[in-house]
A and B are shown apart, each in its own frame.
Chain A
Amino acid sequence: MTTLDFERRVETNRPVTSMQQQAADVRTKISVRDFDFYYGENQVLHGISLEIPEKQVTALIGPSGCGKSTFLRSINRMNDTIPGTRVGGVISIDGLDVNTPGLDVVALRRRVGMVFQKSNPFPKSVFENVAYGLRIGGLRDRGLMEEIVEKSLRRAALWDEVKDRLNASALALSGGQQQRLCIARALAVDPDILLMDEPASALDPIATQKIEELIWELKDNYTIVIVTHNMQQAARVSDRTAFFMLGKLVEYDDTNTIFMNPAQKMTEDYITGRFG
């Protein structure tokens, strides 16, 4: 079985199939069909189906334990690192099933970047953190590396704060700065998609605001999927919102619709704080 090099995938211009997408020229980046997920014998996700549009922010909300983080991690197959897991159904990126046997997972993860809940910079310098993905990719041209690092740090709105201390330890930065560093690190390898698992939950309000502004700017260039337990954050930051509950997708629509005029009663109960 040959390795399907994800970097040479064929771009498909599939017509929009989802009923909820109004604008005809919004492409689907990630297509999910009847996706199941099992931890051993325990089924954690049941028949998830949705279409995530390109270059928009999609928020996944729901009470804790409802499977939204698991779903997020399935997109870049980070759940492979956990033993005993099984999947069913399909998650496709640009028409290619991420669970295709023989798919190069390493290449997949370059195309799909991830930022974690608690920032996890490497105990290296700021520069080396951002350059990490480039180095393992084999990039040796120092000039090009510096260019990409600067570009990434600018995109993550961190450049001005660290440009004079690129060689200082990343651990010396504040919590909010570290998280933006992790974003820059993920951006450096030029992903199409950015997955963010509660990126601001460990940060103070000011740092959170900075991250949210950043997300709003980033969506011009990247498809962003963000998991958050903070509903106001989802309302502020996202274009579309998916509400998960007990491993099922309850409702998925434009953010405005979800928050002002939800179709399902459960959604309304959650939004108004009746539970969760």
Chain B
Amino acid sequence: MLKIARNLYEYRELVAELTRKDITVRYKQAYLGIAWAVMRPLALMLIFTLVKSFVGIDSGTIPYPILTFAALMPWVFFQDATAEGIESVVKNSALVRKIYFPREIFPLTAVTTKLVEFGISAFILAGLMVWYQMMPTAHILWVPVIILYTLLVSLTIALMGAAINVSYRDVGAALPILLSLLMYASPVIYPLQLVRDKLLVQQAAGEWSDLLYTIYTLNPLAGIIDSFQNVVLRGLPPDFSSMLPGMVLTAILLPLSYRYFKWEEAYFADVI
């Protein structure tokens, strides 16, 4: 782990420069420029709000639009960062074949780039909070920690995915689809509170209820989204009980994923 950190420090200028490149290139010839970055969460929020008016989802004391926007922010960040991270090595094949630097810089850069879009969405969220007259509490200081955790979750999938994608491009095509399915298994459209009520309080699945809830929260995004809403909108600390299973899973998988990436790295230039 120490070596990774040292590598990253040594190549920090490269990461910064590549990130700058990614962002500039993405919005270079677009009139609205970086404004496009927030179009997707905004559009999704409007659609979900529309759907909610037919279906009826209990959003508690928080207005549904802002609740779902606060869920979409970490979700979209996670989804885009992961997808981008998986494609990152293949996308840079010209560099991979010619010049050496630690290859994890590619997924890392791809993932960090998405922080910019996240930051812009944060302004929209702030605007919504002003509109709904909600005051943030000191718990909002948890946001960087939660985002860092999201970033690690994203890297866990991206490192492994990027390495496999070098040999089998299927991964680059399949994972975004799987990820968009994962959205329905994450508390984006509905708040986690609904799941918690159903399983933990009403024990809807009988004796299996507690186990099911643990399985549900194995998805790190369940905890992340709920905690993000907690610290920003509800003025509460993160709910660690819902984050724990996901955290354990990430703590196990991230080193494995990283090791797999480093092991495959030696052959990238040969097969890419």
A binds B: no
Measuring CB to CB, which residues of chain A are less than 8 angstroms from any residue of chain B?
A: none
